[in-house]
Amino acid sequence: MPYHAVAVFDSGFNLMTLYIDGVPVDTGAMGQHTIQQLGFNTGGFGCGYSFPDPDLTGSIDELRIFAGVLTTNDVANSFLAGPDTLFAIGSNPKIKISIALSGSQPILSWPMGILEQANEITGPWTTVSNAVSPNAPPTSSQSKHFYRVRLN
C-alpha cells in the first residue's frame, strides 16, 4: 500500500513533524541535536550506500527536498496533488467532499480533515462525532444539511 510520507524540520523551533497522507501524525524536538548533527546511522533516510536499507520494506517512488519549512497546508496540497505533480507552496488545500448513494443513504467521502455539519450554510458548524471517510451521516427529519471539512 503506497503512503505519502513527509518529514518537516523547523530549525527555529527545533521540531521535526512527520505527516502520513497529508495528516500530521507525530511531532518531537530534536533534543540537543540539530539535523546537521545526525550521523549516517542516526535518523538516516535510505542510508544504505552499497547495500539495501534493512529498515525499509518497499521502495521510494519520489523524493523532494525543499528549502524552508513546509506548512500543514503545503503538505496537504502535496498529498492532494499526487505524485509527479508540483503544488503551489503557501496556498490553501482544495478539499473536495464527494457524495454518492447507497440505496437511499447518502455516503460522504473526503481525503483528509474533520467533517463538520450545519443546518444553514452560514452555520453554526458542529463537528460530526467520530466521522471518518467514507461516512453515512445519520438521517433526520431536517430537510437540509450542509457539510464542510476543517483541516485543523
Reported pTM:
0.62
Secondary structure element (H or E) that encloses residue 16, with its range: strand 15-20
DSSP per-residue letters across 65-114: --SSPPPHHHHHHHHHH-TT----TT-------EEEEETTEEEEE-SSSE
Q: What is the pLDDT of residue 52?
A: 64
Give the per-residue pLDDT at 92: 76
Render pLDDT for 107-141 as a digit per residue (tens, 0 to 9): 999 988 889 999 899 989 999 988 999 989 877 77
The pLDDT, as a whole number, for residue 109 is 92
pLDDT for residue 34: 66
Pull the grid cell for residue 115: 467533517
Residue 122 near residue 146 (C-beta atoms within 8 A): no
Which residue numbers in the chain have pLDDT < 50?
46
